[in-house]
Structure 1
Amino acid sequence: MGHGSAGALEGTARRRSRDDGPCVEHWRPEGMEGLRMFRVEDSSRLLSSYSELYGVVVVLRGAVEGWYRGAVRTLAAGGLRLKEPGDVHRDLRVHSPITLQGAGFTADMVDEAARTLGVPRPVHFVDVAPGRAPRAAALATAMHAALASRGPVTRELEALVIETLTELLATCTERGEVRVHERAPRAVRLARDYLRAHLCGPVSLDALAAHAGADKFHLIRAFRAELGIPPYEYLTHLRVARAAELLSAGMTGAEVAHAVGLFDESQLHRHFRRIFGVTPGKFARSMQRQHRPSRLRMSGLACGA
């Protein structure tokens, strides 16, 4: 899921787009800090996504084959996919039109729960094959069904969300000595850190390779093997995820394009629609607060603040 956020909005924000493809919706449940939602309805398009949050995705209908965590996997109706910040998913083949819904949890929310449960951090989810964690899958499905109404979060729903996250952390995480950052090649980890630190400015491949301590040919190959996309596509996903935050805060498309290191608003439009499935304008109109944030607040969100 490519989808970081600030706090909850005063009300449930939604967006829909049926232009040239499936219905795509994003919203923030009212009254639940640290939670973002998205839904893709009846999609036959090949999509890719970068996850800025910890994601819990359930497939409601259809089946899709895609690249994820170094392998090609098929996800069908009833399936559960868990994502971590930095994960990339890229569709390769849609077997039948797919409808899925995802919930994104902030790292702070997940870390707090993991610390309470004694789960090693940083949290690393394991793959959930069909039948592997039936209670976690059932809770996730029930949670998504309740959140699909897009109403304010009741105490009962909040309890279901917390119970679902707790069950996932208790039964679907890696508890051994291996951590996600240790599993990745060192050069890839260093390259990812560099891209995150420089997402607003120009990044040369030579500088990236020098920082990672590898020649650029081996780095690109290792990066794609680990994450499924080359470094510059990863950087684009980072920039679009950051752009979504700034659009939600009330910045204009032109301001956002400059703030995240893109050439102009048309480039933002092209990448944003490709990755999010909706134009920046439609996303902004649905996600902005009722009162536009102050210019000081927006400056603090921009890169380099």
Structure 2
Amino acid sequence: MGRGSAPAREPTARRRARDDGPRIEYWRPEGIEGLRMFRLEDASRPLSSYSEHYGVVLILRGACDGWYRGTVRTLAAGGLKLKEPGEVHRHVRVHAPITVQGAAFAADVVEEAARTLGVPRPVHFVPVAPGRAPRATALATAMHAALAARGPVTRELEALVTETLAELLATCTERGEVRVHERAPRAVRRAREYLRAHVCEPVTLDALAAHAGADKYHLIRAFRAELGVPPYEYLTHLRVARAAELLSTGLTGAEAAHAVGLFDESQLHRHFRRILGVTPGKFARTMQRQHRPSEARAARLACRA
């Protein structure tokens, strides 16, 4: 949430097979501890894989029959495959060349998240059949799309990765659904108050959780359950609302973006249009305001709780 980290990242490690083989690519998103990424494109022959990490693999294109724990099941585009350390996954038959993207989480990261959520350890995933865990699948899909962009690791992306892992542990393990702690409503109220009070400042998920008095895994699930959106999306809505107020007083898009803690005018434009359905410029013109406020007044308006 808030401003992102510096755009530097570890150079992508590429390993390409022969010209007639699949393309394999690896990279590590800098700023997210214990996470490595890979992408396998156009695999037309059965492959096997082994990992010492927990894997969240999204099938992007194609279809194949895969063997796992003695059972063969069909994996198709849009499907999710979850892996545990030390296990072998192998393709039995490729129906159409497959492209997959995988997120490999370090075992200690997953085990600590499971401990926090009350999920039995070691973590054992269950197969995600089509339609079984729609929200977990939707979150994993969004996470993979964001990580594929290879951009700076923002607070929003960090929170999305955290929420995805929490949802997978809660709904796709042998224990099944993990209920939100009874203190959750109070924690959500404290988190919402904190976000409103710090709308124009960078906000980390760890700081938000500490203020709310709950661990980040429980908080992010409880927040969505209570308000329908995770904390970082709630903060974005707050910022767009404040920016709209500022635009109505005569500030430019760049000034409003800076005042509410966004990177620049282009980021404001993207969020403004997505949430309100119009561009900041069109919104400002409809307000027909002639006078610009003082900088002090603009700051008070942008940051008031």
Normalising to structure 1: TM-score of the pair?
0.53
Counterpart for residue 11 of structure 1: 10
Max radius of gyration: which structure?
Answer: 2
Q: Which runs of 5+ in 2 are unaligned?
A: 1-7, 177-305
Q: Is the 8 A contact 1:12 1:150 kept in 2?
A: no
Q: What SS does structure 1 have at the residue aligned with 2:13?
A: coil
Structure 1 residue 10: Cα displacement = 5.4
Counterpart for residue 55 of structure 1: 55
Structure 1 residue 13: Cα displacement = 2.4
Structure 1 residue 23: Cα displacement = 1.1
Counterpart for residue 39 of structure 2: 39
Q: Structure 1 CA distance, aligned partners of 2:15 and 2:26?
A: 8
Structure 1 stretches of at least 4 aligned residues deviating more than 3 Å after TM superposition: none
Q: Which runs of 5+ in 1 are unaligned?
A: 1-8, 177-305
Name the aligned partner's letter for residue 122 of structure 2.
P
Cα-to-partner distance string for 1:253-284 (whole Å, 9 max, x where unaligned): xxxxxxxxxxxxxxxxxxxxxxxxxxxxxxxx
Cα-to-partner distance string for 1:77-132 (whole Å, 9 max, x where unaligned): 01101110011111111100101100011111001111111111111111110000
Q: Is the 8 A contact 2:29 2:147 kept in 1?
A: yes
Q: What SS does structure 2 have at the residue aligned with 1:173?
A: coil
Q: Is the 8 A contact 1:42 1:97 kept in 2?
A: yes
Normalising to structure 2: TM-score of the pair?
0.53
Q: Which has the higher contact order (CA 8 A, sep 6+)?
A: 1
Counterpart for residue 131 of structure 1: 131
Cα-to-partner distance string for 1:130-161 (whole Å, 9 max, x where unaligned): 00000000000000001111223111101000
Q: What SS does structure 1 have at the residue aligned with 2:100?
A: strand
Counterpart for residue 97 of structure 1: 97
Counterpart for residue 153 of structure 2: 153
Q: Is the 8 A contact 2:9 2:152 kept in 1?
A: no
Report the RMSD for the aligned CA atoms in angstroms. 1.5
Structure 1 residue 51: Cα displacement = 2.0
Name the aligned partner's letter for residue 86 of structure 1.
G
Q: What SS does structure 2 have at the residue aligned with 1:164?
A: helix
Cα-to-partner distance string for 1:167-216 (whole Å, 9 max, x where unaligned): 0001111128xxxxxxxxxxxxxxxxxxxxxxxxxxxxxxxxxxxxxxxx
Structure 1 residue 67: Cα displacement = 1.3
Q: Structure 1 CA distance, aligned partners of 2:45 and 2:148?
A: 22
Q: What SS does structure 2 have at the residue aligned with 1:15?
A: strand
Q: Structure 2 CA distance, aligned partners of 1:155 and 1:43?
A: 34
Counterpart for residue 120 of structure 2: 120
Counterpart for residue 228 of structure 1: none
Aligned residues: 168
Q: Structure 1 CA distance, aligned partners of 2:147 and 2:9?
A: 16
Name the aligned partner's letter for residue 71 of structure 2.
A
